[in-house]
């Protein structure tokens, strides 16, 4: 692997301490060096050596930069072997990671920590995945904010700076991922602007990975010892099908293409979907649109972001730590919400048709406020569309000129055969702990979970487990076989306490406490040999 000298560290290092350099003493606020992500300094992204040079607009640095697609040999690899008239480059014990978003980055870091060499392929020209809102597939909108507070959002071994707010913005998260990559030197293992088009079992437990430049170009195939898929599951929009949608004269978009509140200004907007994005956009609609309706199918629980002056998830985990029976916790939380939020039906919302913890939590402090100020009108489910408007199940008619479907996303793995992931008839992959492909010990998926908390800590421990598992396979085949016996035969279960509503939205729903306790046990089984 070529290690280009342009990993951006030096430029930054040089001028981030202008005030103190070369030697000085000062007291700083919380974050000692909020390493300024002046991305302009990262001009030479991953300038690979040799080969064709394509020029790509690096939106982050705002400059033209060279993105070279390396056509020369990988250093250290032997001549390719030929199979079906195509050359296959053997990458030995290297592990392939697909995607350089949060899950991919943490996978690289934890695999490297277990001593693996890693090739990561990223279709965009920068890290960050969905959190880099310049990426074409990013669902981020200008006002995106986190619904989990810092302790649940950060990687457990790389905390976010103390002087960031309780709930960081999407810009913070993107900066955090950049700092994480620089700190652990991850960029040098990433092939930017490279798309994975196929991942096929090679037959001997290894994998053939076909890649091509994102802008188009020749494909190449390499053989890897293992593959960790981290392509995310919040980028392929799931659109509902209502009768008469084709006739509707107004504009219809999915929330993934919603970027800024200017889109809403002065318009009659209908937001469909009661998830967190739906609620956020509805709140924006209340502030900017001429009229805003919010259509939800059922009554939900709305958790405020702060209760008793503290982030609500921290209070909730304080309750979880007591290890009380589920029913008692549900009662406690329902009481807390009743106290902090009050009676939802007063706002014209439906009464929740389920207990707390049974659906993915909706965290929004502003929704009820906006309803109470008349800017937002909650309405029932959509029944059908026609040329001029929408009819609701209640029989009411609305005439919006913009409909935003905040109806979520579906996971997509175009490069993998459905038999590899054991997908059921609906396309839901049947993986052990949402991570391990039962029939392919050297394939794992990172980050395909939807926790009632932040994803980063969970995907961190997932990838530690994956790395330890791959290491154990080499180091101790006997223990590895025992472990895999468990994985292959374990019944499919949900990692939640409560009985979660079944819908594609809750395919990957997990309770972070239940899931992390299970991961803790798994990590114990995979404890490295000394």
Partner 1 sequence: MSAATSTRVMRSKEWSRPVRPVRREVVLAQTIEEEPRPPILFVPGYAHAAWVFEEHWLEHAAARGFPAYAMSLRGHGRSGTARGPSDLRAYVHDVVQVAATMPRQAVLVGHGAGALVVAHALARYPARAGVLLAPVFGGWRTFGTALLRNPIGTVPAIFGGRLRLRRGQLFGPNLHTSAAKVYLGRLGGASRQAQWQLLAQPAPESPVGDPPVLVAGSPDDRIVPRSSLNKVAARYGGAPLLFPGMGHDMMLDAGWAEPIDAIIDWLSKGER
Report the alpha-carbon distance of residue 435 to residue 459 in Å, rounded.
10
Instruction: Build a one-symbol-per-residue string for 183-212: x at contacts with partner 1 by CB under 8 A, - elsewhere.
Output: xxx---------------------------
Residue 73 vs 157, nearer CB to partner 1: 157
DSSP state letter for 81: E
Beta strands in 326-389 (DSSP E): 362-363, 377-379, 382-385
Residue 221 vs 315, nearer CB to partner 1: 315
Residue 11 binding partner 1, by CB under 8 A? no
For partner 1, how many residues bind (rule: CB under 8 A)? 55
Residue 183 vs 499, nearer CB to partner 1: 183
Report the alpha-carbon distance of residue 189 to residue 454 in Å, rounded.
26
- In the chain, the N- to C-terminal Cα span, in Å, equals 29
Residue 13 binding partner 1, by CB under 8 A? yes
**Segment contacting partner 1 (CB under 8 A): 214-222, 255-263, 310-318, 338-346?**
310-318
CB of 475 to partner 1, least distance (A): 14
Q: Which of 1, 35, 252, 332 binds partner 1 (CB under 8 A)?
A: 35
Residue 459 binding partner 1, by CB under 8 A? no
Residue 315 binding partner 1, by CB under 8 A? yes
For residue 95, how many other CB atoms are within 10 A of its CB? 26
**What are 197-202's contacts with CB under 8 Å, separation 24+?**
197/415, 198/415, 199/96, 199/98, 199/227, 199/229, 199/415, 199/416, 199/420, 199/443, 200/417, 201/420, 201/440
CB of 28 to partner 1, least distance (A): 6
**Segment contacting partner 1 (CB under 8 A): 154-162, 278-286, 340-348, 494-502?**
154-162
Token digits of residue 295 = 């259509």
Residue 309 binding partner 1, by CB under 8 A? no
Residue 420 binding partner 1, by CB under 8 A? no
Q: Do the Cβ atoms of 406 and 277 come closer than 8 Å?
A: yes
Q: Which of 59, 90, 113, 391 binds partner 1 (CB under 8 A)?
A: 113
Residue 311 vs 411, nearer CB to partner 1: 311
Residue 476 binding partner 1, by CB under 8 A? no
Q: Which of 116, 121, 131, 152 binds partner 1 (CB under 8 A)?
A: 152
Q: Which of 320, 370, 407, 463 binds partner 1 (CB under 8 A)?
A: 320
CB of 506 to partner 1, least distance (A): 23
Per-position DSSP letters for 224-274, written without gaps between them: ESEEEE---SSSSB-----BTTTT--SEEEEGGG---GGGGTTSEEEEE--
Residue 469 binding partner 1, by CB under 8 A? no
Q: Do the Cβ atoms of 215 and 40 come closer than 8 Å?
A: no
CB of 311 to partner 1, least distance (A): 9
Query: In the window 245-304, what residues touch partner 1 (CB under 8 A)?
Result: none
Angle formed by the axes of helices 456-475 and 477-489, to 10°?
130
Token digits of residue 420 = 């590899």
**Segment contacting partner 1 (CB under 8 A): 39-47, 152-160, 271-279, 342-350?**
152-160
151 burial via Cβ count (<10 Å: 0-12, 13-18, 19+): middle
Q: Which of 40, 50, 76, 159 binds partner 1 (CB under 8 A)?
A: 159
Helix (H) or strand (E) holding 12: helix 9-15
Which residues, in sequence order, are bridge partners of residue 191? 121
13 burial via Cβ count (<10 Å: 0-12, 13-18, 19+): middle
Q: Which of 27, 241, 262, 425 binds partner 1 (CB under 8 A)?
A: 27
Residue 516 binding partner 1, by CB under 8 A? yes
Residue 399 binding partner 1, by CB under 8 A? no
Residue 20 vs 78, nearer CB to partner 1: 20
Residue 26 binding partner 1, by CB under 8 A? yes
418 burial via Cβ count (<10 Å: 0-12, 13-18, 19+): exposed
CB within 8 Å of 138: residues ≥ 6 apart: 129, 130, 131, 132, 235
Going by C-alpha positions, the residue among 237, 283, 118, 249 that lies closest to residue 184 is: 118
CB of 488 to partner 1, least distance (A): 24
Residue 23 binding partner 1, by CB under 8 A? yes
Residue 157 binding partner 1, by CB under 8 A? yes
Q: Which residues bind partner 1 (CB under 8 A)?
A: 9-10, 12-13, 16-17, 20-35, 113, 150-152, 156-159, 161-163, 182-185, 314-315, 317-318, 320-321, 461, 464, 513, 516-517, 519-520, 523-524, 527-528, 530
């Amino acid at each position: 692997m070529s290690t280009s000298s342009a990993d951006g560290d030096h430029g930054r290092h040089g001028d981030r301490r202008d005030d103190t350099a070369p030697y000085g003493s000062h007291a700083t606020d919380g974050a000692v060096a909020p390493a300024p992500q002046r991305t302009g300094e990262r001009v030479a992204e991953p300038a690979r050596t040799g080969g064709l040079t394509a020029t790509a607009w690096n939106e982050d640095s705002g400059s033209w930069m060279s993105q070279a697609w390396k056509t020369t040999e990988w250093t250290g690899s032997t001549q390719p072997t030929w199979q079906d008239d195509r050359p296959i480059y053997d990458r030995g014990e290297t592990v392939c990671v697909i995607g350089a978003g949060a899950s991919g980055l943490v996978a690289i870091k934890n695999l490297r920590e277990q001593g693996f060499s890693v090739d990561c392929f990223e279709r965009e020209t920068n890290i960050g995945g969905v959190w880099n809102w310049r990426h074409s597939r990013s669902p981020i909108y200008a006002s995106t904010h986190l619904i989990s507070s810092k302790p649940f959002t950060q990687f457990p071994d790389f905390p976010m700076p103390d002087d960031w707010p309780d709930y960081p913005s999407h810009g913070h998260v993107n900066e955090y991922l950049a700092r994480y990559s620089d700190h652990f030197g991850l960029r040098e293992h990433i092939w930017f602007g490279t798309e994975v088009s196929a991942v096929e079992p090679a037959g001997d437990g290894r994998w053939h990975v076909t890649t091509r430049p994102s802008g188009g170009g020749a494909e190449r195939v390499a053989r890897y010892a293992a593959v960790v898929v981290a392509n995310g599951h919040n980028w392929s929009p799931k659109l509902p099908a209502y009768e008469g949608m084709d006739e509707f004269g107004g504009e219809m978009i999915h929330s993934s293409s919603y970027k800024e509140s200017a889109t809403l200004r002065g318009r009659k907007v209908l937001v469909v979907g009661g998830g967190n994005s739906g609620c956020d956009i509805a709140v924006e609609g209340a502030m900017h649109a001429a009229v805003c309706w919010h259509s939800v199918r059922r009554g939900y629980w709305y958790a405020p972001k702060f209760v008793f002056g503290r982030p609500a998830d921290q209070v909730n985990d304080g309750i979880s730590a007591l290890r009380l029976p589920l029913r008692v916790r549900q009662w406690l939380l329902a009481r807390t919400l009743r106290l902090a939020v009050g009676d939802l039906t007063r706002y014209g919302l439906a009464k929740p048709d389920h207990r707390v913890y049974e659906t993915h939590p909706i965290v929004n402090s502003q929704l009820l406020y906006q309803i109470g100020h008349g800017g937002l009108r909650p309405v029932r489910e959509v029944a059908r569309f026609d040329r001029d408007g929408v009819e609701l199940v209640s029989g009411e008619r609305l005439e919006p000129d913009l409909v935003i479907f905040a109806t979520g996303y579906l996971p997509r793995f175009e490069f993998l055969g459905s038999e590899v992931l054991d997908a059921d008839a609906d396309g839901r992959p049947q993986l052990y702990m949402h991570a391990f492909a039962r029939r392919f010990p050297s394939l794992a998926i990172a980050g395909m979970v939807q926790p009632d908390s932040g994803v980063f800590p969970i995907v961190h421990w997932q990838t530690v487990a994956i790395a330890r598992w791959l290491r154990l396979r080499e180091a101790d085949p006997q223990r590895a076989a025992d472990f895999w016996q468990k994985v292959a035969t374990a019944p499919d279960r949900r990692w939640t306490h409560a009985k979660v509503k079944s819908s594609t939205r809750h395919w990957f729903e997990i309770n972070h406490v239940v899931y992390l306790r299970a991961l803790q046990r798994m990590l114990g089984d995979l404890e490295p040999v000394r």
